[in-house]
Structure 1
Amino acid sequence: MNPLGRKEQRMDLQDDGLGSSKTERRRSEIMRLLLETGTAQIKDLAQAMDVSLMTIHRDLNDLQDQGLVRRIRGAVSAEKSMLVESNYIYRARQHVDEKRRLARAAVNHVEPGNAVIWDDSSTTFHVCDFIEQVTPVTVITNALPVMERLRETTDVELIGLGGKFHRRYNGFFGLACENMIKTFHVDVALLSTTTIQGGSLYTQDEEVVRTKQSMMAIARKKILLVDESKFHFSALNYVADVAAFDVVLISRNVSPEILTQMRQARARLELV
């Protein structure tokens, strides 16, 4: 049996005519499968995605040009270290315009003098581009790219959360990180998520779950940043309900049906 072709593993790849194209979502799904399996036959990927071999080859050409995959004799593969590094790089390159809109809107919920904590997500990273609009602020984060970006930014007091470095997420996690978070009380927490299903946040890694929950627990105000792609995947571990956030900043590219579901789940939406 095709190990990638089980019906329940397939992503809905119908083009909804909104922001994120079916091509972009399909390539994200290819990356997800390769991160899980390491290597796949190209013909199996075509079957799993329900597209032609020509389409899969175009997808793989693009991913290879980005340095994310390599092809060997009818298969697509990468060294484990490359796959781990590629996960964050790939996420960071997707939906950039949406993420920047969300980040700009997030800064409107921060005031000068605030202490802000934010997670390792590629969405909240873009807050770095706008944080100087509300300085002076204190920024607490477990995300290495944020630390590198803000380390010399004027009027940003930067506190880096330590712990075990996770290359897949380019950030710090684990017990040491969680214990350090508990020593703070902040004005605002800025978070994103792997996916939203049925009014709840989910992610794949238990350490990521605990870190996000710890950040939420110490914040006076909790802000969730959600781009359109967050509704096309599934993940194993529950993080929180959307109703737990004071504001859910959500991309205007999200379909009206999903917006209705979010409101029914008592999400306080701000369309961006």
Structure 2
Amino acid sequence: MTTANRPPIFAILAIQAVVFGGLYLAMPTVNALVGYGVPLFWQMSAQGLIAATVTKYFKFGWGWVIGQCVAPPLVILALGLGLPMWIYPVILILLVLVFWNVASNRVPLYLTNTETSAALLKLLPNKKSIRFVDLGSGLGGTLRYLASRSPESRFYGVESAPLPFIFSWCLRKLHGKDNLEFRFRDIWKEDLSEFDVVYCFLSPVPMARLFAKAQEELKPGSLFISNSFAVPDQKPDKIITVKDGRKTQLLIWKI
């Protein structure tokens, strides 16, 4: 089994469903062996551990593994609190609006730290005005940092997850930066030909396709910069290691 070509959320739910079915069938035997009915919380804890193990076996990232482990017992705890039923769909809707790209493109919400933003500032081409785009700009912190320190250049964020886009758009309005713009758009529909620098902090999944798009659309001499994630079979022209806690690497290609 591979997970490369299917939306991960469906595989994640399928693993939970299969594990639940297996435990449901096994619980009468388990109860007979231990001599009492195993409490529901411990059943769900066992489900989480088994689902997490299966998820790791199929080479999902640690975020998915941890989520699989804690979700079932957390559901039981939440039900025990007696919260109003409308809380659950509201939480689900908010999670979908924030992590929209996880289901569609297998791209989690990663945030660029200040040290990495400072490193990006040093990588900007040495000319008076450039056009820089962050594909999957999240909450927009990187672009606000760059726009405030390079007022002669223009910075663009492209984001398709609704809540992060709204958050970044509102902050841009509050700060009033004329050289900063956020676009609510799928990154695959963005024309890259107008930019001098393309930056992304996505996941391993879209990198090959995105690099091919950059090669096709960017002007010669433009920069393609990936935070942490390599492009298969494409050696970077340069790698910068940031002096932060996770030793972030910026992989740089000159088109």
Structure of greater Rg:
2
TM (normalized to structure 1)? Answer: 0.47
